[in-house]
């Protein structure tokens, strides 16, 4: 059974559908704002828990089977350009694929490129894959609709993409349709945003910016970022419906990097084009000013301090400007050396760890089986010293950034393991 805060009831219901248990017994509780209120509410909550956990299942609850997917007709609007554009900006509530909202929820609320038949056919020339090819995992999660290459092309057209962007957008859609464990945090009601990172020669081919992480100012970055948001909204559902679902989209600066590209870190070929989907926690960003590096030179030492102050971080990604990366390389440091240095020197006491704001959530994740499991540390005394991150692999390094930003640390579960990366080339 589930216990749900009242302000998260909608998100919780979506998740129960996702795990194929929409009728799971559920208790909705008020959001607690203090330990005193939690303790006062406990005597009221416990009897409810006992009752629902011990009450025999009803005949309805015993019904099994597979949740059927609701089929939706294709949306087609006829009229001149202004009439069609006004449809997307309409203020009449209706039920779309995922929401009961205005049609503007099919977009970010701003005017879009209208996805005419001709525009979508033009977009599909950017890939050799057939329009009807099904994207995403099989079976499709209960709350996700089956979508195709053409669906992605429609959303890419709306976002202002060019056909040559399609392999990247398709790779992004593939990763966004991964199982719930890699995407639930960025869904409606989640506190995280998505970050798309392109690694490989295709970044230069598409004239992608490597220095503006948000993607603003570069057509390729910005339109593919917008396409990712629209695919999440219209094909997958419950992702960033107010536009907050994608926090950035940029290319790794492989041309000026002294080290192997991001994809090669996890087994892709050095010259292979790779897309990485990152779930980022924006409030835990950290910056290191260029003045510090120029004055002191101890970039990594300063970075250690920042990595230790990310709050709820289980893993992190460090973005290092090419000039700094080359300086470190000139001193004989490989990317692996940098990662190991940061890991070895980022430590804390268990008392400090237990005092973190998000300790409850972090420890629950680290007690489970999986890449974050650290069950060996929880019985240690408060004065025991532990590594902030489980192992060096929990620290990823990307070479990118504008000259005025030598170092950037993004915290939270901003981690780029191989299962969140895919080949762009296979979508050509």
pLDDT 10s digits, 236-256: 765 544 444 456 789 999 999
pLDDT 10s digits, 265-298: 889 999 999 999 876 655 456 666 656 666 677 7
Does residue 55 register a pLDDT over 90? Answer: yes
Q: Which of the residue ranges 71-75, 268-272, 396-400 would you say has the lowest mean pLDDT?
A: 71-75
Does residue 52 register a pLDDT over 90? Answer: yes
pLDDT band at residue 411, thresholds of 50, 70 and 90?
very low
State how far the Cα of 388 lies from the Cα of 350, in Å rounded to an integer: 10
The pLDDT of 129-134, averaged and rounded, is 94
Q: Which of 106, 74, 100 is nearest to 88 (CA)?
A: 106
Look at residue 268 in the predicted model and tell me its pLDDT: 94
The DSSP-derived string for 197-239 is EEESTHHHHTT--SS-TT-TT-HHHHHHHHHHHHHIIIII-SB
* pTM flag (> 0.85): no
The pLDDT of 333-353, averaged and rounded, is 93
pLDDT band at residue 186, thresholds of 50, 70 and 90?
very low
Q: To which residue do tokens 């992608």 refer?
A: 208
If one compares 294 and 16, the residue with the highest pLDDT of the two is 16
Does residue 138 register a pLDDT over 80? Answer: no
Portion of the chain with pLDDT greater than 90, in percent: 32
67 backbone φψ class: left, alpha, beta (φ>0; ψ -120 to 50) = beta
Q: DSSP character for 131? A: T
Judging by DSSP bridges, how do beta strands 395-399 and 316-320 pair with one another?
A: parallel
State how far the Cα of 189 lies from the Cα of 147, in Å rounded to an integer: 23
Does residue 157 register a pLDDT over 90? Answer: yes
Domain boundaries, the chain: 2-55, 81-281+419-427, 282-412
Residue 333 tokens, joined: 């440091």
The pLDDT of 99-124, averaged and rounded, is 79
Q: Which residues contact 46 (CB under 8 A, 6 or more apart)?
A: none
Look at residue 193 in the predicted model and tell me its pLDDT: 67
Does residue 120 register a pLDDT over 60? Answer: yes
Range with the largest mean pLDDT of 292-301, 338-347, 366-375 = 338-347
Does residue 316 register a pLDDT over 70? Answer: yes
Look at residue 408 in the predicted model and tell me its pLDDT: 58
Q: Which of the residue ranges 126-130, 132-136, 220-224 would you say has the lowest mean pLDDT?
A: 132-136
Give ∠ CA 329-214-250 in degrees, rounded to 5. 50
Is residue 312 within 8 Å of residue 279, measured between CB atoms? no
Does residue 413 register a pLDDT over 60? Answer: no
Does residue 412 register a pLDDT over 50? Answer: no
Look at residue 135 in the predicted model and tell me its pLDDT: 84
What's the whole-number average pLDDT of the chain? 80
Does residue 19 register a pLDDT over 50? Answer: yes
The DSSP-derived string for 237-259 is -SB-TTTTTEEEEEE---SS-SS
Look at residue 185 in the predicted model and tell me its pLDDT: 41
If one compares 412 and 28, the residue with the highest pLDDT of the two is 28
Residue 214 tokens, joined: 């948000």
């Amino acid at each position: 059974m589930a216990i749900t805060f009242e302000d998260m009831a909608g998100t919780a219901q979506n998740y129960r559908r996702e795990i194929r248990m929409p009728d799971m017994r559920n208790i909705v509780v008020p959001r607690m704002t203090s330990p005193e209120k939690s303790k006062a509410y406990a005597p009221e909550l416990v009897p409810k828990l006992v009752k629902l956990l011990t009450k025999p299942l009803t005949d309805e609850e015993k019904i099994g089977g597979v949740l059927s997917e609701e089929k939706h007709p294709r949306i087609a609007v006829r009229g001149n350009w202004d009439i069609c554009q006004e449809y997307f900006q309409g203020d009449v509530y209706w039920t779309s694929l995922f929401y009961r909202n205005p049609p503007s929820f099919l977009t970010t609320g701003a005017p879009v490129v209208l996805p005419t038949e001709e525009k979508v056919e033009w977009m599909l020339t950017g890939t050799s894959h057939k329009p009807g090819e099904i994207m995403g995992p099989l079976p499709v999660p209960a709350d996700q609709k089956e979508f195709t290459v053409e669906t992605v092309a429609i959303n890419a057209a709306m976002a202002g993409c060019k056909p040559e962007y399609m392999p990247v957008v398709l790779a992004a859609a593939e990763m966004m349709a991964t199982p719930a464990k890699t995407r639930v945090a960025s869904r409606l009601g989640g506190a995280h945003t998505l970050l798309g990172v392109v690694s490989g020669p295709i970044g230069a081919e598409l004239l992608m910016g490597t220095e503006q992480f948000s993607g603003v100012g570069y057509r390729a970055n910005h339109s593919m970022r917008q396409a990712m948001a629209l695919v999440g909204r219209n094909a997958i559902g419950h992702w960033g419906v107010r536009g907050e679902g994608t926090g950035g989209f940029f290319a790794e600066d492989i041309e000026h990097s002294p080290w192997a590209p991001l994809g090669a870190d996890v087994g892709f070929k050095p010259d292979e084009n790779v897309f990485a989907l990152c779930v980022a926690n924006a409030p835990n960003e950290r910056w290191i000013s260029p003045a510090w590096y120029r004055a002191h030179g101890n970039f990594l030492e300063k970075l250690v301090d920042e990595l230790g102050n990310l709050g709820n971080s289980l893993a992190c990604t460090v973005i290092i400007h090419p000039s700094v990366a080359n300086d470190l390389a000139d001193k004989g440091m490989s990317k692996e050396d940098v990662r190991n240095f940061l890991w070895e020197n980022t430590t804390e006491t268990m008392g400090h760890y237990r005092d973190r704001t998000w300790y409850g959530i972090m420890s629950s994740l680290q007690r489970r089986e999986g890449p974050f499991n650290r069950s060996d540390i929880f019985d240690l005394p408060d004065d025991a010293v532990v590594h902030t991150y489980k192992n060096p692999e929990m620290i990823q390094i990307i070479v990118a950034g504008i000259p005025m930003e030598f170092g950037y640390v993004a915290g939270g579960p901003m981690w780029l393991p191989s299962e969140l990366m895919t080949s762009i080339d296979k979508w050509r």
